[in-house]
Amino acid sequence: MGMKYRQYLAGERIYGCSTCKTHLATIHSMISRAFNGQHGRAYLFDGVVNVVEGDPSDRQMTTGNHTVRDIYCCKCGQKMGWKYDRAYEPSQRYKEGKFILERNLLMDVQ
């Protein structure tokens, strides 16, 4: 497993890791602010960069059963949220392949 080069994002608003400021996502890829993470508010993103994905596991949430992978900052290893591999409820399928980032673990890096 080789170390990836970190990507740098450009745009008017960039969210980064609160620990090491590694770029993670832009406001343009944000789908929703109305999510809850394990540490409070969380955002749903269409795509993120500079994260490492953990192994899949099934997690029961208020919206049903999901298969998710925790995601970690590729530089400092902080757990940032998770990725939805699969949603079992048809109404939740739009989340598949999308990413949750915890608001409290993000900082504006611009």
Please name which of 53, 52, 54, 47 lies closest in space to residue 9, comparing C-alpha atoms.
47
Q: Which is nearer to Zn ion, 54 or 67 (CB)?
A: 54
Q: Which of residues 17-76 bind Zn ion (CB under 5 A)?
A: 17, 19-20, 22, 73, 75-76
Tell me how far, at minimum, the Cβ of 105 lies from Zn ion, in Å. Answer: 9
**What is the smallest separation between the CB atom of 42 and Zn ion, expressed in angstroms?**
17
Number of residues that bind Zn ion (CB under 5 A): 8
Give me the residues paired with residue 29 across strands: none
Residue with Cβ nearer Zn ion (87 or 105): 105
Q: How far is the CB of 36 from Zn ion (least distance, A)?
A: 22
Q: What 3-state class would DSSP assign to 4?
A: coil
Please identify, among the stretches 12-20, 32-40, 48-56, 95-103, the one whose residues bind Zn ion according to the rule CB under 5 A.
12-20
DSSP letters along 10-66, please? -SS-EEEETTT--EEEEGGGEEEEEEEETTEEEEEES---SEEEEEEEEEEETTEEE
Q: With CA atoms as reference, report the closest residue to 97 among 83, 110, 81, 80.
A: 83
Residues interacting with Zn ion, by CB under 5 A?
A: 17, 19-20, 22, 73, 75-76, 78
